[in-house]
Chain A
């Protein structure tokens, strides 16, 4: 199909949206409501994600080397290199035997530290304190550390990691599910509207086919019509959510501060607006295209 033909056909689709004003506005509104819930989930998710990430930053993995290796042993260097080469490693700090000894003596044993009096630090292993970029695959990363030669043991807050991962995946799954259902609802709304316009224009469609219009020529305007309704509906939704978010974010952040929770903070709308707009409008467009395509396929045999 040539560009001028496409633009003519697309123009017909836009014209239909305008001509069926009432029906278009109603379905756009309904699409907006369905996608609004989706948008709310989006806002909650990115905020949870951002805050979970800031919490995760504080977690670290301890990698213990074989105790027979000394600070400058090339094998230690090899272990350090392999840790640092892991793509999930944010930072890696080497702990000497003496540092470990001090920790043991003054932070762990404290009053009982006299039992170490005549001992050297030689029995303690060199270790690495590792911070991860992505804690959700932390267990896997820890396992990778464990398989490095001359690594004796890897300590990591497995329970915490797993709990965070489980919670995060529940939230993701839940919002995917609900978002999916609502997207289906929006699709159904658009499909239904397009079905009605197809029926209303049965006679015109017939004429077009008699004159020799191709499938695409007859169908595309309806697809465009559905897509436009999806896009406009999601854009309305975006504006409503954006406006509401901006009007409550200050209050909520103040509340968090007065409650003494400094580590939790809602993201600025400007930080999420672009991605959110693209996501919502993209979903709106896809929902519109699929919804109208279903109707057109079913009710417009050429």
Chain B
């Protein structure tokens, strides 16, 4: 599903954000990418969305070689990946329904399909009754669920969440993580970028740890049990 192959990323100002990073995430896997602030997590996300191109190395997602992807193919690529952000990134002047529908409209889906799918996705994340609300009328946890519904609406094979619980209280965090687990159980590959050790420790999934731009640890699912890990 994801293959990062000897990737080095050097920003124009000379900062080396990633150093010879390699790992693979298989289809259907649930993986955490963790690390201190400045470790290179966001850079990795930018590379996976082809917002930036690596200085060296290759990236493959869904079998697509990023270095061969043309600029105008980027929208198509992003539609095949569901993304969830720490700050939710909802369109403030549109209702919950329209925010989720937007991800379908850009794929030129029919009105009928939109009318059918959006309520389903909202029900899935527990927001069936909030379709007409605006983002500002929702709590942080609810906004993140809208973000999740939007990320899922086009049935992506891969979901990437960048600090999805960073702005949420523990209860809401747990619920979002539970949703992500369910999504994963239904076959979607899920990658969660985070620096919250509690979540990582609770879930006992695969963990890839970055430090100063290098992979310093890659523990397989179920084996990561270090309660005192310092991340």
- A residues at B contact (CB < 8 Å): 1-2, 4-5, 8, 19, 203-204, 206-215, 217
B105 to chain A, nearest CB (A): 6
Residues of A within 8 A of B90 (CB): 207
Are the CB atoms of A210 and B75 closer together than 8 Å? no
B37 to chain A, nearest CB (A): 21
With A204-B91, A207-B89 already in contact, the answer to whether A212 and B79 are too (CB < 8 A) is yes
Q: Would you give the 0/1 interface string for B92-107, flagging 1 where the beta carbon is closer than 8 Å to chain A?
A: 1100000000110111
Does B206 reach chain A (CB closer than 8 Å)? no
Q: What's the Cα separation between A4 and B112 when bound, in Å? A: 12
Count A/B pairs, Cβ under 8 Å: 53
Residues of B within 8 A of A212 (CB): 75-80, 103, 106-107
With A212-B77, A212-B79 already in contact, the answer to whether A207 and B111 are too (CB < 8 A) is no
Q: What's the Cα separation between A19 and B93 when bound, in Å? A: 10
Q: What's the Cα separation between A204 and B88 when bound, in Å? A: 12
A219 to chain B, nearest CB (A): 12
Are the CB atoms of A210 and B93 closer together than 8 Å? no
Of all chain A residues, which has the CB nearest B92? A204
Residues of B within 8 A of A19 (CB): 93
Residues of B within 8 A of A207 (CB): 89-91
Residues of A within 8 A of B72 (CB): 214-215
Residues of B within 8 A of A5 (CB): 105, 108
Does B49 reach chain A (CB closer than 8 Å)? yes
Q: Which of A1, A204, A214 contacts B75 (CB 8 A)?
A: A214
Are the CB atoms of B110 and A211 closer together than 8 Å? no
Q: Which of A19, A206, A207, A215 has most B Cβ within 10 Å?
A: A207
- B residues at A contact (CB < 8 Å): 49, 72, 75-80, 83, 85, 89-93, 102-103, 105-108, 110-111, 150
Residues of A within 8 A of B103 (CB): 211-212
Interface majority SS (helix, strand, loop, mixed), chain A: helix
Q: Which of B89, B91, B106, B111 contacts A214 (CB 8 A)?
A: B106
Q: What's the Cα separation between A214 and B73 when bound, in Å? A: 9
7 tightest A-B CB contacts, nearest first: A212-B78, A212-B79, A213-B106, A214-B75, A207-B89, A212-B75, A5-B108
Q: What's the Cα separation between A214 and B108 when bound, in Å? A: 11
Q: What's the Cα separation between A241 and B91 when bound, in Å? A: 42
Residues of B within 8 A of A217 (CB): 75, 106
B151 to chain A, nearest CB (A): 9
B195 to chain A, nearest CB (A): 21
Q: What's the Cα separation between A256 and B116 when bound, in Å? A: 71
Are the CB atoms of A4 and B106 closer together than 8 Å? no
Q: What's the Cα separation between A210 and B150 when bound, in Å? A: 12
Q: What's the Cα separation between A205 and B58 when bound, in Å? A: 28
Are the CB atoms of A8 and B105 closer together than 8 Å? yes
Q: What's the Cα separation between A278 and B89 when bound, in Å? A: 43
Q: What's the Cα separation between A208 and B94 when bound, in Å? A: 13
Residues of B within 8 A of A204 (CB): 91-93
Residues of B within 8 A of A8 (CB): 105
Are the CB atoms of B106 and A211 closer together than 8 Å? yes
Residues of A within 8 A of B49 (CB): 210
Residues of B within 8 A of A213 (CB): 75, 102, 106
With A4-B111, A215-B72 already in contact, the answer to whether A210 and B106 are too (CB < 8 A) is no
